[in-house]
Amino acid sequence: MVTDGDILRQFIDNQRKTKKEIAEDLGISRRQLYQYFDSVRINKENRQRFSEYFQFDIFEAAEPYNEIQKPDDQKTDYINIRRGIKSVDKVQTIPFLPIKAQAGYLRTYDHVQYLGELEHYGIPPGIDIRGADWCYIEVEGDSMLPALKECDTVMCSLLPKFDWENVKNYYAYVIVTEQTMMIKRIYVKSPEEWVLISENEELYPQQLFKVKDLKELWVIRHSFIAGLKPSKMFEIKI
């Protein structure tokens, strides 16, 4: 079922302004805005509030049509409206969480607001970030050598809690608990317990992890190296 929150999120994802800017314009926090995204039904007053802000009744436009009761021209109008929402041009940026800010991220109660206050950067061509929360995260430590080294950057999308049961074995994730943030490959030993695997197993042996301790899970989609070191010693021949 498509909820009011789904409609609102999709429409906002296709705006030029960021979620933080839209929340500020509306006089609410980013956390409140995300709570609306989770709503099945937004009340009439707030539906009108959003529609007045966007100068467009986004909820009425997205109401599904009953194919028996609605004529074809209305169904066509609805399809055109939805295509128009998806095709709105926007400058896409996502927050960058550097090593020095990660301790603060763990301590804060409002992770959404914290990310909104960080520097935002553009995304590489060909990546569609609509419909999910994305973040650049700077790598700390050497547990994932040689795949990732300190100060490399990973581009991640947040995995909703209801999808944690669909974690894929041996994929790399950013695991967030109350005490730490770490990059590991995951093997699902049971629904309650995972095995965390480091690339650098000689120094960082496998460890068991209780899923109940998990606060957030980010899927690593892309990685970017901090620098390209020579793979061998070169002899100058000219």
pLDDT of the residue at 13 = 78
Q: Which helix (H) or strand (E) holds 220?
A: strand 216-224
Give the global pTM. 0.62
Interval 123-151: pLDDT, tens? 888 888 877 889 999 999 999 999 999 99
Token digits of residue 222: 């892309």
Q: How far apart are CA 67 and CA 137, in angstroms?
A: 46
pLDDT of the residue at 66 = 33
Residue 99 vs residue 69, higher pLDDT: 99
SS (H, E, C) 104-115: HHHHCCCHHHHH
Token digits of residue 150: 């300190």
Q: How far apart are CA 95 and CA 98, in angstroms?
A: 10
Domains and CATH numbers, the chain: 4-86 (1.10.260), 93-224 (2.10.109.10)
What mean pLDDT is predicted for residues 36-46? 85
Those residues with Cβ within 8 angstroms of residue 15's Cβ, 6 or more apart along the chain or in another chain? 22, 88, 90
Interval 166-221: pLDDT, tens? 999 999 999 999 999 999 999 999 999 999 999 999 999 999 999 999 999 999 99
For residue 25, give the 3-state DSSP assignment.
helix
pLDDT higher than 70, residue 79: no
CB 198 within 8 A of CB 143: yes
Any bridge partners for residue 193, and if so which?
A: 190, 210
Q: pLDDT band at 62, cuts 50/70/90? A: low
